[in-house]
Amino acid sequence: MGMSVTISAATDADAEQILKLQYLCYQSEAQLYGDYSIEPLTQSLDSVRTELTAGTVLVARLGDEVVASVRGTVDADGTAWIGKLIVHPRMQRHGLGGRLLSAIESAFAGTAKRFQLFSGHRSEHNLRLYRKHGYAQVSTRQVDERLTLVTLAKEIDASALAASA
């Protein structure tokens, strides 16, 4: 035991572990919505590798094992889009998701004006986590009869950023 979880930038060598973890973590989401064809379950290894180079991907490690991950990009308007926040089921409910969310926000602190993410309407644990970290619902979009996506946003407090610089 005694090992602590560390958070760092993902490397290409992490791609396979991230994909396997993603597949494990999204099983519960697929079950919740009755849809096993969701993108996180069908994404290819090459696509994960592309995301590693196109945006910011962080991983949490316990020793050599990737036990959590999150991805994000910043668009031209300064919105940091955060996605695929995943935590291994045995590591959930210990604050790791919140630590990763804070870490990706910090990674974008110099370039983003706001943060946005989305979750399914039935994913109450995820929605609760995001609200706890200052995100508020800004829109919903019904995808089909089973799924409504809830978009949440968080504005960056410019005075707090200036004070921390």
CATH number of 73's domain: 3.40.630.30
Sorted by sequence, the CB contacts under 8 Å of residue 90 that are 6+ apart come out as none
User: Using 50, 70 and 90 to split pLDDT, how confident is the model at 158?
Assistant: low
- Predicted confidence (pLDDT) per residue in 128-143, tens digit: 999 999 999 999 999 8
pLDDT digits (tens, 9 = 90+) for 25-44: 999 999 999 999 999 999 99
Angle ∠(150,155,159) on CA atoms, nearest 5: 165
Q: Is the model's pLDDT at 117 over the cut of 90? A: yes
Q: Give the residue-averaged pLDDT of 48-55.
A: 95
Q: Residue 3: pLDDT band by 50, 70, 90 thresholds?
A: low
Could you give the number of structural domains in the chain? Answer: 1
**Is beta strand 5-9 parallel, antiparallel or unpaired with respect to 56-62?**
antiparallel
Domain that holds residue 24: 5-164
Residue 151 near residue 140, CB atoms below 8 Å: yes
